[in-house]
Structure 1
Amino acid sequence: MTTKLVDLIKSNAKALPALSNESFGSHFDHLGRYKVVLLGDGSHGTSEFYRARAEITKHLIQHHGFDTVAVEADWPDSEAVDRYVRQRPGAKAKIERPEEPAFQRFPTWMWQNSEVQEMVHWMRDHNRNLPPPKRVGFYGLDLYSMGRSIESIIKYLDTVDPKMANLARQRYGCLQPWVEDPTEYGLANYLDSGMSTCEAQVLEMLRDLLQKRLEYTSAHRDGDEFHSAEQNAHLVADAEAYYRAMYSSAVDSWSLRDSHMFETLQRLLASKRSESKVVVWAHNSHIGDARYTSMGRRRGELNIGQLCREHFGRDNVALIGCGTHTGTVAAAHEWGNDVEIMDVVPSRSDSWEHLAHQSGRDTFYLELRKKLASPELLQAIAKVSPKLERFIGVIYRPQTERMSHYSSADLADQFDGYLWFERTEAVKPLVMHQPHDHIGADETYPFGL
């Protein structure tokens, strides 16, 4: 059966040109029909994964009307990039303070790398001659920026409603002792069942802000700024719940995080034109449908890929995973450590990656959607499912790779397509030394951020 499946992969694999070839993105024209395209990565430190996503995204933007790039990153950091690529001015606070550089939280190299830098510059150049409503935006979906989000909300309110800004300072003051290390808030709540939480205050702040939507947007005529403040308020509320759940139930914390990312995506699309289409960049563990992995089957977890299929419908969503056999990767051995360039152990013989390796193809795309893929291929995949799949996040521990980085999955149900690179290289970090970071709980290990 394995030999037959390898032969079927060979015969059905779509050959791809080099990433440097201008035609690379055109091989993914079929993705242009979808409302939401989620592009995964098998690790957060592999150059080919980032470059492939960038080339596919560029093509979808140029030829298929995609105008939104949403990534597995924090909202305030991504907004700094969005202001750059769309040339959006920032909110003017009464007391101006230097802006903290974006993407300083561990792992800095996940977004501070040459591959992302090139994509960001391309987006700015693409937007340069477009009217503001048609410029392509860059947005973050994650929820680890509680402290920066609180600062952003207060800065915005200082410009539109100083009384509300003072109320926000009072309400968010409940979280102030914990913003340097929000995991300590969750731990303290877990250890002291009688401890008062900050849930009521952050939800009241969110409710009051939403009630002011029409007043603020009509008075200042800047929907982007209100939308950002609204998103930051949602983020603070979800982060407060996330850190409380972290110590009581790991399943809840993962699902809360991916639910936040999905709801952020929904609000983002609701704020856009009806014809807007979005590309999402996130780890395979987030974009591959969790129902067809051990995440969902054994641990009851959900993810953004599953939620997109359920909400938008399969005909409107494409989930594209990717993998590699060996090479190098940028990662850390422990949470908070500096980035290192490590060798990737060749894939296990009982993994999906090894089947792709046995095909002998250096690079290919494999269609897995039932309406488009070979029925014989899908039947053969189903007969060997589930198999192990490798997940490298921002931590890589080659010595314990089977336990640390492999999990079972049904590839053809998990993804709609699979992008393969036989040998890959590490991303090129712009910063090698990790700044001191108080947020140190590796609750997302082994999948990373």
Structure 2
Amino acid sequence: RYRYSCFDHFGEDTQAYGYAATFGLAESCEEEALGQLIELQQRAVAYASRDGHVADDEFFFAEQNARLVKNAEEYYRSMFRGRVESWNRRDAHMAETLEALAAHLEGRGRKAKIVLWEHNSHLGDARATEIGEGGEFNVGQLVRERYPGQSVLVGFTTHHGTVTAASNWDSPAERKRVRPALPGSYEALFHELGIGRFMLGLRSGAPMEGLRGPRLERAIGVIYRPETERMSHYFRARLSDQFDAVMHFDETRAVEPLERIAAPSGEVAETFPTGV
């Protein structure tokens, strides 16, 4: 707590911390965050020797929390050094977490099988996109590089429908109508097939004529801005190099909250996590 108290005077305003630390308006908490992680790692053997799997799990959780703080501190400083650096810092953390989880599970003598659910922009191999040409990498690329031949990257596409998304960061979620895909995009190509939903394998030997691209591809995430859709959500990609398979749903439907009414003040929602 003493080390992490370095962040206290910024409250929950992480961008204020990143700005102040980047431009020398306040001392960064880099040393404190890194020091906590190193101290935990140095005590790994002592923790693991106490109570078998229980202690092993508890140490893993603590180490991951410390790693998260260290990487988050770096991320919020990187936000003011450009989009590419901050994006890469975030996806590097995701891949690092995945690698740590696999090592933790396999430490018990069992081969780990992990399903990772993320947006296409994180899971499709960035090297097959114009985003990758700009210097960004992502989880899909890092997984293929670190675990060659041991991963399957599956993308999802849609032509039209509805989506739950915000208009800006920190804005409330809205139910929005997804515009029909632009002509010349992969989504429009799949729509022309007249099949409501299908899965298409893209590994060698699969029918990939017309999918080697590059073509436009749409990415909708936490934010959706239909009024600037071409600029905000489309990029060029080579689909057959980006994914191992694609699942297409011609019409998509927005996710709906489990609870439509907020919990009364002071009452914990039924879906709130316990044991944390």
Is the TM value for this pair above 0.5? yes
Matched, 1:428 2:259: no
SS of the equivalent of 1:400 reads: helix
Give the structure, 1 or 2, with the largest relative contact order (CA under 8 Å, sep 6 or more): 1
Deviation at 1:195, TM superposition (A): 3.8
Task: Give the equivalent residue in structure 1 for 2:272.
Answer: none
Query: Of 129, 140, 144, which residue of structure 2 is paired with 1:305?
Result: 140
SS of the equivalent of 1:318 reads: coil
* Structure 1 CA distance for aligned equivalents of residues 223 and 206 of structure 2: 34
**1:178 counterpart letter in structure 2:** F
Deviation at 1:252, TM superposition (A): 0.9
Task: Give the equivalent residue in structure 2 for 1:264.
Answer: 97
Task: Give the equivalent residue in structure 1 for 2:198.
Answer: 364
Task: Give the equivalent residue in structure 1 for 2:273.
Answer: none
Deviation at 1:334, TM superposition (A): 2.5
Task: Give the equivalent residue in structure 2 for 1:291.
Answer: 127
Deviation at 1:294, TM superposition (A): 1.5
Task: Give the equivalent residue in structure 2 for 1:252.
Answer: 85
SS of the equivalent of 1:204 reads: helix
Task: Give the equivalent residue in structure 2 for 1:73.
Answer: none
Query: Of 66, 69, 74, which residue of structure 2 is paired with 1:241?
Result: 74
Deviation at 1:327, TM superposition (A): 0.9
Matched, 1:381 2:214: no
SS of the equivalent of 2:115 reads: strand
Instruction: Please list, as runs of the form range in 1=range in 2, the aligned pairs for 1:169-248 lying within 5 A after superposition.
Output: 169-192=1-24, 195-221=26-52, 222=54, 223-248=56-81
Query: Of 224, 243, 266, which residue of structure 2 is paired with 1:396?
Result: 224
* Structure 2 CA distance for aligned equivalents of residues 432 and 331 of structure 1: 16
Deviation at 1:342, TM superposition (A): 1.3
Q: Please give the per-residue CA displacement for 1:127-164, whole angstroms capped at 9, x wherever unaligned.
A: xxxxxxxxxxxxxxxxxxxxxxxxxxxxxxxxxxxxxx
Task: Give the equivalent residue in structure 2 for 1:321.
Answer: 155
SS of the equivalent of 1:279 reads: coil
Deviation at 1:201, TM superposition (A): 1.3
Deviation at 1:284, TM superposition (A): 0.1
**1:309 counterpart letter in structure 2:** R
SS of the equivalent of 1:316 reads: coil
* Structure 2 CA distance for aligned equivalents of residues 390 and 179 of structure 1: 36
Task: Give the equivalent residue in structure 2 for 1:415.
Answer: 243
SS of the equivalent of 2:69 reads: helix
Aligned residue pairs total 258
Matched, 1:337 2:167: no
Task: Give the equivalent residue in structure 1 for 2:115.
Answer: 279
* TM-score, reference length from structure 2: 0.89
* Structure 2 CA distance for aligned equivalents of residues 381 and 393 of structure 1: 23
**1:287 counterpart letter in structure 2:** L
Q: Please give the per-residue CA displacement for 1:174-224, whole angstroms capped at 9, x wherever unaligned.
A: 1222351211111112333x6421111111111111111121222243211
**1:338 counterpart letter in structure 2:** P
Contact conserved, 1:322 with 1:420, CA < 8 A, in 2? yes
Q: Could you say if the C-alpha distance between residues 373 and 262 of structure 1 is closer, same or farther in structure 2, counting changes exceeding 3 Å?
A: same
SS of the equivalent of 2:111 reads: coil
Q: Please give the per-residue CA displacement for 1:36-87, whole angstroms capped at 9, x wherever unaligned.
A: xxxxxxxxxxxxxxxxxxxxxxxxxxxxxxxxxxxxxxxxxxxxxxxxxxxx
Q: Could you say if the C-alpha distance between residues 243 and 220 of structure 1 is closer, same or farther in structure 2, counting changes exceeding 3 Å?
A: same
Deviation at 1:387, TM superposition (A): 1.1
Deviation at 1:338, TM superposition (A): 2.3
Contact conserved, 1:178 with 1:185, CA < 8 A, in 2? yes
**1:174 counterpart letter in structure 2:** C
* Structure 2 CA distance for aligned equivalents of residues 228 and 179 of structure 1: 24
* Structure 1 CA distance for aligned equivalents of residues 262 and 187 of structure 2: 31
Contact conserved, 1:337 with 1:434, CA < 8 A, in 2? no
Task: Give the equivalent residue in structure 2 for 1:109.
Answer: none
* Structure 1 CA distance for aligned equivalents of residues 259 and 15 of structure 2: 25
Once the two structures are overlaid, the 10-residue window that deviates more, 236-245 or 328-337, is 328-337
Name the one with the larger helix percent.
1
Deviation at 1:249, TM superposition (A): 2.1
Q: Could you say if the C-alpha distance between residues 434 and 409 of structure 1 is closer, same or farther in structure 2, counting changes exceeding 3 Å?
A: farther
Quote the RMSD (CA, aligned, Å): 1.7
- Structure 2 segments unaligned to the other structure (5+ residues): 264-276
* Structure 1 CA distance for aligned equivalents of residues 119 and 11 of structure 2: 26
* Structure 2 CA distance for aligned equivalents of residues 190 and 351 of structure 1: 40
**2:125 counterpart letter in structure 1:** D
